[in-house]
């Protein structure tokens, strides 16, 4: 099974730290956010990883070439100066991910989630990992009815930035810049997305405050 790490974000809410360092390479307890997630995927047996880059992408490329993990293959796909969004970034890298369902994870989260291989349910194009709503997203993003993801529910949860996607979810896409959530909501509405509520360690390191919390 393959995986993609979304690492093309500009990290504007983490300025000035991201002025000279891409957000995925910010350090928490002596290890970068990107390396944490690479290690988590590798520990789950994943040996093929795709990383999209934009802002200071050469720094990420240089970093991954120095990793010493036997059997690991990482392909960096540079998007240029303008990021393509979370959905557009995956779509742009799809040539590397056509073999079957693949994991996707945001580079700027810290989590204890286990990325073991999973099989998508029949008639499902995606599986989302949801978490309890943090302070910065109290209204949540999606609901759950058993393992079926809903766009609206009396109990909403937050999309963790972790998903397993079938490449078929991108069939018919005709735009280059778009968000993954935008695409997911379409298929959630069609009843083609499953999900789970993960109650383990998870933190979105999207602001200086949360970066400091991660360091604490």
Look up the CATH number of the domain holding residue 81: 3.90.550.10
Q: What is the pLDDT of residues 87-103, one digit of tens each?
A: 999 999 999 998 899 99
Q: What is the pLDDT of residue 17?
A: 82
Overall size of the chain counted in residues: 216
Q: What is the pLDDT of residues 107-118, one digit of tens each?
A: 999 999 999 989
Report how many domains make up the chain.
1
Q: What is the pLDDT of residues 139-159, one digit of tens each?
A: 999 999 999 999 999 999 999
Q: Which two tokens stand for residue 204?
A: 């979105």
Pairing of strands 193-197, 126-131: parallel
Give residue 11's pLDDT band: very low, low, confident or very high (50, 70, 90). Answer: confident
- The Cα–Cα gap between 171 and 30 comes to 41
Among 66, 63, 73, 75, CA closest to 22? 63
Q: SS3 sequence, the chain?
A: CEEEEECCCCCHHHCCHHHCCCHHHCEECCEEHHHHHHHHHHHCCCCEEEEEECCCHHHHHHHHHCCCCCCCEEEEEECCCCCCHHHHHHHHCHHHCCCCCEEEEECCEEECCCCCCCCCCCCCCEEEEEECCCHHHCCCCEEEECCEEECCCCCEEEEEEEEEECHHHHCCCCCCCCCHHHHHHHHHHCCCEEEEECCCCEEECCCHHHHHHHHC
Backbone angles phi, psi at 170, to 5 degrees: -95, 5
Give residue 215's pLDDT band: very low, low, confident or very high (50, 70, 90). Answer: confident
The residue range of the domain holding 186 is 2-215
């Amino acid at each position: 099974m393959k995986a993609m790490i979304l690492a093309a974000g500009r990290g504007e809410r983490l300025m000035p730290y991201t002025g000279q360092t891409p957000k995925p390479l910010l350090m928490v307890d002596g290890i970068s956010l990107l390396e944490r997630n690479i290690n988590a995927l590798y520990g789950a047996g994943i040996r093929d990883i795709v990383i999209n880059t934009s802002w200071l992408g050469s720094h990420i490329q240089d970093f991954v070439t120095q990793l010493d993990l036997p059997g690991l293959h990482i392909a960096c796909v540079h998007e240029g100066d303008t990021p393509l969004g979370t959905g557009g970034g995956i779509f742009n890298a799809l040539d590397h991910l056509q073999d079957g369902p693949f994991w996707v994870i945001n580079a700027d989260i810290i989590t204890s989630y286990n990325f073991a291989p999973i099989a998508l349910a029949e008639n499902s194009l995606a599986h989302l990992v949801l978490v309890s709503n943090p302070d910065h997203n109290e209204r949540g993003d999606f609901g759950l009815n058993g393992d079926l993801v809903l766009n609206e529910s009396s109990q909403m949860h937050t999309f963790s930035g972790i998903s397993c996607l079938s490449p078929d979810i991108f069939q018919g896409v005709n735009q280059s810049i778009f968000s993954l959530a935008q695409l997911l909501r379409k298929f959630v509405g069609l009843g083609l997305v499953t999900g789970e509520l993960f109650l383990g360690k998870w933190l979105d390191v999207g602001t200086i405050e949360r970066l400091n919390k991660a360091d604490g």
